[in-house]
Amino acid sequence: MSKLVKDQILNQRYRLIKFLGEGGMAIVWLAKDIRLDTQVALKFLNKDMQKHTSCHRALKREWEIASNLTHPNIVRVYEFYEDAVCPFYAMQFIDGTTISILCKDDPSNSLRPFGLIADALDYAHSREIIHGDIKANNILLDKNGCPFLVDFGVASTFSETILTTEQDENYKEKYSSKDIHSLGKVIYEVIHGSPPALDTNLNIPFSDALEPEMKNMLEEMLKSGKNLGLTAIDVKKRLAEIGYLSGNAKVNKFNNDDVIEIKPVSVRESKTDLENFGENEQEKNVISSRVFYACLGFALILCVLVIFVLPRAVKSDKAIKETVDYKEISTKDIKTENINLVLEARLIADVALGELVSELDILQDKGIQKWGGRAYQDIKNNYAKGDAFYLEGNYENAYAQYTVALVELNKLSKQTNEILQFNLDAGKKALESNNFNDAIKFLDITISISPDNTLYTDYYQRALSLEEMMDLMNQGIELENNMDLNSAREIYKTALKLDSNYGPVISLLDNLEKKITRNDFETRMSEGFIALTNNDLQSAKALFTAAKDINPESDEPIDAIIQLQEQEKDISISSLETISKEQESLEQWELAIDTYQKLLKIDSDLQFAKVGLIRSKLRQQMHAQIQSYIDDYDILNDPLIMQRATNLLMKSTKIEGGLRLKEQISELNRLLKRANTPVRITLLSDNLTRVRVFKVSELEIFNVKQITLRPGNYIVVGIREGYRDIRVEFRVAPEIRISPITIICEEKI
């Protein structure tokens, strides 16, 4: 290939516009794609590298790696052109500058593009590609502040790395961490205005105004070995958590040197060239009046075509002008009298080319290169053949090729809606079957055809996140299988943040919630029954109640609570029965009566409690009667009472009683014997006073009289006419020595 110069035509397609820059291995030119009427960047090997075939292979390898990456923030590459001397390839032209323009800008603006670049890196790493040369010059911003990752010249794949080095289980993270480290340097440079100066102790100086979270992240990215577990997507998330959401930066600092401007070519200029072409030929040859009027007629036809044909068919006349400009029409062998036929053929070819370029622009905006397939390749081939004929001056054949390409292009245009629906259906089906590669492929075509449809965009975003979604889903399933249900729930929730409409994860989370609820329910029930077995009734009741709160529809907690109540009842009955027996054995009949009444309140059908209550009442009554005789033993002097007490004593001796009853029987027996033991007493009087012992006898008058009385309290009264009566009370008991009792009425009335 000869030396590259401005306006040079390469491969009959690219016209060089401006030299953009040079690196260690390659140079880059801005060029115009004449076929597609777009600006592209062309990357060539520099003069020194052209001599080495290994450099040729490296350039093609760079193109192969980059061509496998389709991401909105990675510069796209197009065709590769083999050349024995200087191969090159075409790529997307970014009309902007490097990210260095944001240095020391407000971080709320300057750090926004890094989330998109981190996402682009994550996309490359997910396809096992390491960029290997992340730096400020390889991150470009277009006029809208949208960032693009460029230059995969030293990129490599994980598989290539495996072949050359010994690997451990973290080799992917290890090698992708090199990109993370370099990205950290660029972030630091944009914040502070210069790259980090790392000393031997890896101490990194930071601005005092920098957030602690940002410092921590940059330290992880910049310190060797520390960022092994930090991935590109982690960087994106950390930036968002700190407050720097992903997005375009505001760029208003571009100067004229930063942005390349291309002056459009108008139809007027193209028409002027055609007129100049005719005038030059007339100057070279003497034109007859016949030819003059023929040309005049042709001019009228030209006006009609321009007014009625071109506005309808030509979206832009740039391609026509550029095509006309880059090579003068060779008319050396054309006779003067045929010039009008040449001009007419050229104009017809130009009109066909205009229609073709216009329709091609429309379909390229709809991504025809992604879905056009073989038909699109045939269209491009016919387009190229038409250009070749045009450059040779063979306008009739050029027109024929353009027409064939246009007819096929119109066929594809009519199939756009059908192709859209097919790819939409295929993409949705791939989403449902978790085939993320096909989903991305089909839905990428869908949004290329209809980029403004938010529903299609949502489907595409779901496809882009499907791989990560499936990874999270599998993690959740594994955790669920290992019964780490709470962790699995958090993983599923994280997955749904990526795609809230992903049915499988929604179903998994719903089933997991039911499983967790059931597990919690069964745990509470099991713990409740364990507590019930251990007679920890309070805990059992609380656990069964909690289980009922978890699942109000279940009858199990109700049945368990009924069982608990029955067990609680049995325990209470058993406990009270034991107490009642102990109270009976201690002859605590009043307490036993109270206990039996409690038992019958719990269960009125308890036969042992009924019998026990009757028994206790009878025994309590007996004890009370015996005790009343003992407490007031003097009443035993009454024969009737003594008989009753004797009958009670006989009855009580027939009962098998305890110590208390035996003591009562012994005491009553003693008192009865005492009551039946007579005591002799002496009464003294004056033989004038009549003496009477109440309830015993009338003794009349005497001086000394001895009588026998049973133990008890007695009253003796003395009466004498003319004298006040006398009354003497005394007590008779075997254990009491009684002095003679004097009954004499001495006080006269």
The pLDDT tens digits for 370-398 are: 888 899 999 999 988 988 887 787 888 98
CA 136, CA 182: separation in Å to the nearest integer?
10
Residue 159: per-residue pLDDT = 60
CA distance 678 to 546: 80
Question: What pLDDT shows up at residue 86?
Answer: 85
| 719-724 average pLDDT score | 93
| Residue found under tokens 């006398």 | 726
Mean pLDDT confidence for 419-425: 93
Percent helix, strand, coil in the chain, to 5, is: 60, 10, 30
CA distance 715 to 710: 13
Least confident of 146-150, 222-226, 263-267: 263-267
Please tell me the distance from the alpha carbon of residue 122 to that of residue 359, in angstroms, as a whole number: 36
- Edge to edge, the sheet with strand 97-98 lists 97-98, 139-141, 147-149
Look up residue 187 and give its amino acid: I
Which residues neighbour 381 within 8 Å (Cβ) at sequence distance 6 or greater? none
678 HSE (CA, 13 A, CB side): 6
How far does CA 492 lie from the centroid of its chain? Answer: 6
| pLDDT range class, residue 236, cuts 50, 70, 90 | very high
What is the mean pLDDT of the segment spanning 506-531? 91
Q: What is the DSSP string of 10-52?
A: ETTTEEEEEEEEE-SSEEEEEEEETTTTEEEEEEEE-TTGGG-
Closest CA to 36 of 90, 73, 95: 90
pLDDT tier at 289 (50, 70, 90 boundaries)? Answer: very low
* pLDDT tens profile 668-707: 998 898 888 889 999 999 999 999 998 888 888 999 999 9
With 80 as the cut, is the pLDDT of residue 281 above it?
no
CA distances for 18 relative to 32, 150, 159, 189, 564, angstroms: 10, 19, 38, 29, 91
Domains of the chain: 9-92 (3.30.200.20), 97-242 (1.10.510.10), 267-414 (no CATH), 421-520 (1.25.40), 577-675 (no CATH), 679-742 (no CATH)
> Residue 343: what pLDDT?
66
Q: Is the pLDDT of residue 287 over 60?
A: no
Q: What pLDDT band is residue 170 in, cutting at 50, 70 and 90?
A: low
Query: What's the predicted TM-score (pTM) here?
Result: 0.39
Confidence grade of residue 357 (pLDDT, cut at 50, 70, 90): confident
For position 311, what pLDDT does the model report? 41
- Type of residue found at 249: A
Residue 441 DSSP class: H
Highest mean pLDDT, choosing among 289-298, 322-331, 513-522: 513-522
| 71 three-state secondary structure | coil
Q: What confidence score (pLDDT) does residue 316 get?
A: 33
Instruction: Indicate whether 114 pLDDT > 50.
Output: yes
Bridge partner list, 90: 42
Query: What is the model's pLDDT at position 79?
Result: 87
Which of 193, 191, 200, 158 minimizes the C-alpha distance to 177?
158
Instruction: Kindly indicate the confidence band of residue 284, based on its pLDDT and cuts at 50, 70 and 90.
Output: very low
- What does the H/E/C string look like for 600-638? HHHCCCCHHHHHHHHHHHHHHHHHHHHHHHHHCHHHHHC
Q: How confident is the model at residue 302 (pLDDT cuts 50, 70, 90)?
A: very low
Tokens of 410: 């119109």
Least confident range of 236-245, 247-256, 535-544: 247-256
The pLDDT, as a whole number, for residue 560 is: 92
Task: Please report the pLDDT score of residue 254 as a whole number.
Answer: 53
pLDDT band for 353, please (50, 70, 90 cuts): confident
pLDDT band at 202 (very low <50, low <70, confident <90, very high): low
State pLDDT tens for residues 16-45.
Answer: 999 998 877 899 999 998 887 889 999 999
Query: Using CA atoms, how far apart are residues 293 and 301, in angstroms rounded to an integer?
Result: 13
Torsion of CA 246, 247, 249, 250, to 10 degrees: -130
The contacts of residue 433 (CB under 8 Å, 6+ apart) are: none
Q: What is the pLDDT of residue 297?
A: 45
Query: Does residue 292 carry a pLDDT above 50?
Result: no
> What percent of the chain is predicted at pLDDT more than 90?
42
Residues with Cβ within 8 Å of 682's Cβ and at least 6 positions away in sequence, in order, are 704, 705, 706, 740, 741
Residue 526 has pLDDT above 90, yes or no: yes
Q: Which residue has the higher pLDDT, 279 or 29?
A: 29
pLDDT of residue 178: 86
* Mean pLDDT, all residues of the chain: 82
Residue 152 has pLDDT above 50, yes or no: yes
pLDDT for res 66: 87
